[in-house]
A and B are shown apart, each in its own frame.
Chain A
Amino acid sequence: MDLRKAFSRGDHLVWLTGSALGISLLMILGLVFVILTNGLGIFWPSPIEQLTLADGSVVAGEPIQRQAIPNPGQPDHRQKHRVQLKVGNRDLYGFDFKWMDEADIAKRERPSGIYLVERSEYGPLIGTPVRVLEGEKEVASGAAAAAALEGLVDKAERDRRAVRVIEKDEIGAVNYDIERIRLQRRKLDYREKQGGAGDLSAARRKLDEREKERKARYAELEEKLTKRMEGASSTRVVFRSVDGQEKELRALDVYRAYPANDLSWLGRARVYASRLWGFLADEPREANTEGGIFPAIFGTVMMVLLMSLMVVPLGVLAALYLREYAKQGLLVRTVRIAVNNLAGVPSIVFGVFGLGFFVYFLGGGIDRIFFPESLPTPTYGTGGILWASLTLALLTVPVVIVASEEALAAVPRSVREASLAMGATKFQTILRVVLPAAAPGILTGLILAMARAAGEVAPLMLTGVVKLAPELPLDGFFPFFHLDRKFMHLGFHIYDVGFQSPNVEAAKPMVYTTTIFLLVIVVLLNLTAIVVRNRLREKYKTGAF
C-alpha cells in the first residue's frame, strides 16, 4: 500500500532521472580526468633510474610502468613484477623502451649528472656529457662540459632561430618570387599556344631579368645560410650512455638538455613550463612525434572560423526563406524534414561529396579557367582549407537552419505586426526587427555547428588535411590568405600521432595532450560565441509577453 503510494507520487522517478544524470556526468568527468592526467603529466621531467642487472649490464631510463607478470596456471601467476623504462638512445640501441624483470635487477639508483637530451632526431638521448668539441679541438670535458651545456643549448636555440629566419622568410620570399616568375612564363607560353597574343618577347625579357636578379639574391642568401650553419655546427657535444657508448651531437641539434636527477622542484617546473610552451608554439618534428602542434591549432581555428563565415549566411538565408517567405505546406514540411535528416548523414559521406564536387569539379573548373598555366599541377583542384571549410559548412548547415528557424519562429507576432503597422515592408521588418531578435538563437545554432565542425576528422581527410603542412594558410606573402593550401588539424593530428606514427609507444602521451588542446580550443571557440550571444540577448531581449 505504502509502496504503491510512493510509486504514484513518483519518488522512483526522481531517483531514476537523478541517477541517469549522475551516470552521464560521471562518464564525462571520467573522460576529462583520464585525458588530463595522461596528457598533462608528460611534460613533467621524471627522474632517470639506473638499473644494474644480475648479469652486470647497466640500463638507464625514465620509469614508465610496473606490471605483474602473467603466467597462467603457474603458482607465480601475477606474483612477480617487471618494469618498463624509456631508455631513449634509439640510434644506439634500436629501441626506445625496455622491459626488465624485477628479479633480474641487482641495483637501482638515481645517479647524479645524468642528462636527458631532446634533439632533432632519434628521440631523446640519455647519457652524460663528456666532451665539448669546437671543430677538432676539445674545449671542455667532464664536469666543465656539463656546465657548458646550458649555454650551448641557448646558443643553439638562437642559431636555429636565425637559420629559420634566413630559410623561411628571406629565402622563402625569393622562392615565392621565382615560383611566380615561373608561372608567369608558363602563362606566356600558354597564351602563345592559344595564338593571337602578339609579340611577347618584351614581357619575356622582363621576366628573365627579374629572374636573374632573384636568382642572384638567392645565391647570396644561400651563402649567408651556409656560413651561419658552418659557424653554428662546428660546436659538438659528446655524450656517453650508461653502457659506455659515445654519441657525438651537433650543438645545433640539441633542443633541450637537463640533469634529470639533480633538478630542484623549481627547476622541474621550469622544464615543464618550457616544454608546455614549446608544445603549443613550435612546429612538429620527427614525423609529428616530437615538437609542437602550433600549425594544427592554427589550422583548426582558421578552418572553423572560415566555416562559420560560410555557414551562417547560408543557413540564415535558407531559414528565412523557409520560415518567412515560403508558403507553409506539404512541400515546405518535406524540405524541413529533409534538412533535419541531413544533419544525421555520416560525415564521411559529406567528405566524399566534398572531394567529388568541391575539389574535383569546382576546384578543377577554377584551375582550367584561372590557372591553366600551372596545369597539370592543380592549384584549387586539390584538397585545401577552402574546400574543407565548405564541406564542413555543408555538414553543419542543417544545424544552423534548424536553430535559425526556431529562433525566427520565436519572434513574437506582435512585434512583427508593430513594425508592419508602422509602414515597414516585410523586408524591413525582417532586417530591423526579426533578425536582431532572432540573433541569439541563430548564434546558438552556430555554437552547435562549430562544436561539430571542430571535432570532425573524416571529411577533412578527403578534402585538405595533411599530416604535415610546410606552410600555414595565412602568411606574409600576398594575398596573405592562401585558401588553396592544405592544412593541419588537431583531430587528424590525434589520429596521425596515435595510429600512423612510426613510434606509437613514444607518441602515445602526445595523443592525450593533443586531445586536451583540441578540447580547449572547442571550448574557447564556443565560449566566445556564447559570450557574444549573451550580449545580444541582453540587448535584444524580447518582452515577457
Chain B
Amino acid sequence: MANDHMQTTAPDSGLRIRTEVKAPGPTDARHSSEGPDIVCREVNLAYGDNHVLHDITMEVDDRRVTALIGPSGCGKSTLLRCFNRMNDLIDNVKVWGEIRVKGLDVNAPATDVIEVRRRVGMVFQKSNPFPKSIYENVTYGLRIAGIGDKATLDEACERSLKGAALWDEVKDRLDESGLSLSGGQMQRLCIARAIAVEPEIVLMDEPCSALDPIATLKIEELIFQLKEKYTIVIVTHNLQQAARVSDKTAFFWLGRLVEYGPTAEMFTAPRDKLTEDYITGRFG
C-alpha cells in the first residue's frame, strides 16, 4: 500500500531540499571535496533472505546534523552502520547500491575499511569506553594509527576532551579508569574518543537513549558545538531530540526512506501521511 508513494517522494524531496538548504560558508575550506558528505544511491541491504533496506537514496550535508527517525526495526541504525561498514562484522550481510563518503566509494573492493572508519567516527547507543584509563581511551585511535609521541597524544587528548566538553571534569584524573565516570560522562568520553582522530563525519546511534535528561541535554549541547567542525548523522527515537538538534530529518518506515527534508518543515508540515502519523504519535 505504502510502497508507491514512498519510492517516489523520498529521493526527490531529499535532493530538492538539499539544494535549497545547503548554505556553503567559509568553513567549507576544510574539506577538499565540494558537495554533500555522504551520498547514497539505491542502497539495499539484506541479512540472508531478510531484505532490510530498500533502495535508499539520500544525501547528507556537510557540517549539518541529520537525524534518522522511525519506529524500531525500520532500518535506520542499519543504514547508519553502512556508512562506516560496521555491518561487515555480521555474517551473511549483503549490501548493494552505492555509498560515497566524501567521494570515497565505501563498498568498493579496493576501499580500505580501516580508512573508511578513520574518516567516519561512531558513537554507540550504550557508552562503551575501553577498560582502560581515560587518557588511554581518548588516545586509542591515535595509538592504533601508530602515533606514540607523548606531546602529540597529550595535545590530542586535551583537545578532544575539550571538544567533548569533558575536560574540566576529568583533567585531574586522566589516569583513572574510563569506567569510573558517570553514564553521561562516559558517553562524552566516547565522543571525545571518536573525535580524537579528527574524522570528517560522526555517526551517533541513539547516543542518549541510556542517559538521564540532564546528561541528554549536555550531549545535545555538545552536538550543537560539534557540527561546526563535523558532519553528524544521529539516529534517535526521541522526536523532540530530533527536532531540537537536527537540521534535516529522514523518516524511515519498514526499510524505506519515506520523507527527507529540513527538520523545521518536516515537523510542522510533513508532506507524507505516514510521517505525519508518526510524528504526531498516532503509531510507532
Q: Which A residues lie at the B interface, using CB under 8 A? A: 412, 414-415, 417-425, 428, 432-433, 436-437, 539-543, 545
Q: Are A415 and B128 in contact (CB under 8 A)?
A: yes
A419 to B137, CA, bound (A): 10
Q: Are A540 and B132 in contact (CB under 8 A)?
A: yes
B141 within 8 A of A: yes
In the complex, chain B residues whose CB is within 8 Å of the CB of A421? 84, 86, 117, 121-122, 124, 194
Q: Are B144 and A432 in contact (CB under 8 A)?
A: yes
Contact flag A414-B193 (CB < 8 Å), given A421-B117, A432-B144, A543-B179: no
Q: Mark B117-138, 1 if CB is under 8 A from A, else 0.
A: 1100110101111111000000
B7 within 8 A of A: no
B197 within 8 A of A: yes
A479 CB, nearest partner CB in chain B, Å: 35
Contact flag A541-B179 (CB < 8 Å), given A415-B130, A423-B114: yes
Q: Are B131 and A419 in contact (CB under 8 A)?
A: no
Tell me which residues from 155 to 181 in chain B have a Cβ below 8 Å from any Cβ of chain A. 177, 179
Q: Are A414 and B197 in contact (CB under 8 A)?
A: no
B217 within 8 A of A: no
A290 CB, nearest partner CB in chain B, Å: 54
A415-B131, A421-B121, A432-B144 given; name 6 further pairs at CB < 8 Å. A421-B86, A422-B193, A423-B141, A428-B144, A436-B131, A539-B177
Contact flag A541-B86 (CB < 8 Å), given A412-B128, A421-B121, A433-B130: no
Q: Are A420 and B128 in contact (CB under 8 A)?
A: no
B63 CB, nearest partner CB in chain A, Å: 21
A539 to B177, CA, bound (A): 7
Chain A residue at minimum C-beta to C-beta distance from B141: A422
B57 CB, nearest partner CB in chain A, Å: 25
B87 CB, nearest partner CB in chain A, Å: 11
B140 CB, nearest partner CB in chain A, Å: 6
Q: Are A545 and B131 in contact (CB under 8 A)?
A: no
Cross-chain pairs A/B with CB under 8 angstroms, 24 sampled: A412-B128, A414-B124, A414-B126, A415-B128, A417-B86, A417-B128, A418-B130, A421-B117, A421-B122, A421-B124, A422-B117, A422-B121, A422-B144, A422-B193, A422-B194, A423-B114, A423-B115, A424-B140, A428-B144, A433-B130, A541-B131, A542-B179, A543-B127, A545-B128
Interface centre among A412, A414, A421, A433 (most CB of B within 10 A): A421
B190 within 8 A of A: yes
Tell me which residues from 79 to 105 in chain B have a Cβ below 8 Å from any Cβ of chain A. 84, 86, 89
Contact flag A420-B86 (CB < 8 Å), given A414-B124, A432-B140, A541-B177: yes
Chain B residue at minimum C-beta to C-beta distance from A327: B91
In the complex, chain A residues whose CB is within 8 Å of the CB of B186? 543
Contact flag A420-B144 (CB < 8 Å), given A414-B128, A437-B131: no
Q: Are B128 and A543 in contact (CB under 8 A)?
A: yes
A15 to B279, CA, bound (A): 59
In the complex, chain B residues whose CB is within 8 Å of the CB of A545? 126, 128
Q: Are B124 and A423 in contact (CB under 8 A)?
A: no
From A417, A432, A541, A542, B124 is in contact (CB under 8 Å) with A417
From B115, B124, B145, B177, A418 is in contact (CB under 8 Å) with B124
Chain B residue at minimum C-beta to C-beta distance from A424: B144
B48 CB, nearest partner CB in chain A, Å: 16
Contact flag A540-B131 (CB < 8 Å), given A417-B89, A418-B190, A423-B144: yes
Contact flag A543-B124 (CB < 8 Å), given A420-B86, A422-B140: no
A421 CB, nearest partner CB in chain B, Å: 4
In the complex, chain A residues whose CB is within 8 Å of the CB of B86? 417, 420-421
A545 to B177, CA, bound (A): 15
B146 CB, nearest partner CB in chain A, Å: 10
In the complex, chain A residues whose CB is within 8 Å of the CB of B129? 418, 543
A536 CB, nearest partner CB in chain B, Å: 10
A416 CB, nearest partner CB in chain B, Å: 8
In the complex, chain B residues whose CB is within 8 Å of the CB of A432? 130, 140, 143-144
3 closest Cβ pairs, A-B complex: A414-B128, A423-B118, A423-B117
A416 to B52, CA, bound (A): 24
Q: Are A419 and B140 in contact (CB under 8 A)?
A: yes
A415 to B194, CA, bound (A): 13
Q: Mark B169-212, 1 if CB is under 8 A from A, else 0.
A: 00000000101000000100010011001000000000000000
Chain A residue at minimum C-beta to C-beta distance from B178: A543
B93 CB, nearest partner CB in chain A, Å: 15
B180 CB, nearest partner CB in chain A, Å: 9
A440 to B197, CA, bound (A): 30
In the complex, chain A residues whose CB is within 8 Å of the CB of B114? 423-425
In the complex, chain B residues whose CB is within 8 Å of the CB of A436? 131-132
Q: Are B131 and A418 in contact (CB under 8 A)?
A: no
Chain B residue at minimum C-beta to C-beta distance from A412: B128
In the complex, chain A residues whose CB is within 8 Å of the CB of B89? 417, 420
Chain B residue at minimum C-beta to C-beta distance from A432: B144
In the complex, chain A residues whose CB is within 8 Å of the CB of B145? 423
A470 to B127, CA, bound (A): 61
A539 CB, nearest partner CB in chain B, Å: 8
A543 to B127, CA, bound (A): 9
A31 CB, nearest partner CB in chain B, Å: 40
A447 to B190, CA, bound (A): 35
A414 to B124, CA, bound (A): 8
Interface centre among A414, A423, A432, A540 (most CB of B within 10 A): A423
A438 CB, nearest partner CB in chain B, Å: 10
In the complex, chain B residues whose CB is within 8 Å of the CB of A424? 114, 140-141, 144
Chain A residue at minimum C-beta to C-beta distance from B115: A423
Q: Are B141 and A418 in contact (CB under 8 A)?
A: no
Chain B residue at minimum C-beta to C-beta distance from A540: B131
A349 to B1, CA, bound (A): 70
A323 CB, nearest partner CB in chain B, Å: 15
A420 to B197, CA, bound (A): 13
A414 to B89, CA, bound (A): 12
A480 CB, nearest partner CB in chain B, Å: 35
In the complex, chain A residues whose CB is within 8 Å of the CB of B190? 418
Chain A residue at minimum C-beta to C-beta distance from B210: A545
B121 CB, nearest partner CB in chain A, Å: 7
From B131, B132, B177, B197, A422 is in contact (CB under 8 Å) with B197
Chain A residue at minimum C-beta to C-beta distance from B196: A422
A378 to B51, CA, bound (A): 68
Chain A residue at minimum C-beta to C-beta distance from B114: A423
Q: Are B118 and A419 in contact (CB under 8 A)?
A: no
A329 CB, nearest partner CB in chain B, Å: 11
